Structure 1
Amino acid sequence: MGIEEEIEHVSKLMKIDIDDHKEHVEKVRMMISYFDILDSAGVESEEISVHEISLSNLRDDEYIPFNEKLIEQLKHYKGTYVRAPKMSS
């Protein structure tokens, strides 16, 4: 299956209407060549060094009592609900 046919097949699966599949062929070729470059980089053999921290250097956990109800400190608190800001699309 060629790139054009694959683009047409994928667009049908995704229910996207594409008038001219040929215009997307060069974009797909560029993406594939970019992935080929990434594959040839051989990063799977690269070791990542992480600075180790001794457990003795970590702070001790402490229980600090908090007498107030945190939910009542929120600005948009009403009953048992908290009103969040509207999401923009």
Structure 2
Amino acid sequence: MVTEKEIEQVTKLMKIDVHDHKEFIDKVHAMIDYFDILDSAGVSDEEITMDAVSLSELREDEYVEYSDKLIERLNHYKGTYVRAPKMV
């Protein structure tokens, strides 16, 4: 399954500062187990039906001018980065 080294590598790639990688091993395993449950649900032969929507029924995109720079209004904006909340 997932090792501490793999979690450490992912946190480095995502530039996430994690001090104890071992605490995430159980959480990642629980997520993978959940995906295994979803995979075993056996819905591959189920057909998903959707009503077709023609392009003429969709709304037109509109440009709406906004005077402020949205990125500068973020609380955790620093330089070219936006700081996300800590993972718990």
What TM-score, normalized to structure 2? 0.53
Partner of 1:18: 18
Q: Structure 2: which 5+ runs fail to align? A: 53-63, 75-88
Partner of 1:40: 40
**For 2:33 and 2:68, how far apart are their aligned partners in 1?**
43
Distance change >3 Å, CA 7–CA 19, structure 1 → 2: same
**Identity value in percent:** 56
**For 1:17 and 1:47, how far apart are their aligned partners in 2?**
43
- Deviation track 1:21-78 (CA, whole Å, cap 9, x = no partner) reads 01111110110000000111122211134578xxxxxxxxxxxxxxxxxxxxxxxxxx
Show structure 1 runs of 4+ deviating over 2 A: 48-52, 81-89
**For 2:66 and 2:37, how far apart are their aligned partners in 1?**
47
Structure 1 residues 1-89: aligned runs within 5 Å = 2-49=2-49, 82-83=65-66, 89=74
CA contact (8 A) 2:2 2:28 kept: no
TM-superposed deviation, 1:5: 1.3
- Pairs aligned (count): 61
What TM-score, normalized to structure 1? 0.52
CA contact (8 A) 2:2 2:25 kept: no
**RCO higher in structure (CA 8 A, sep ≥6):** 2
**For 1:43 and 1:32, how far apart are their aligned partners in 2?**
18
RMSD of aligned residue pairs (Cα, Å)? 2.8
Rg (Cα) greater in structure: 1
The structure richer in helix per residue is 1
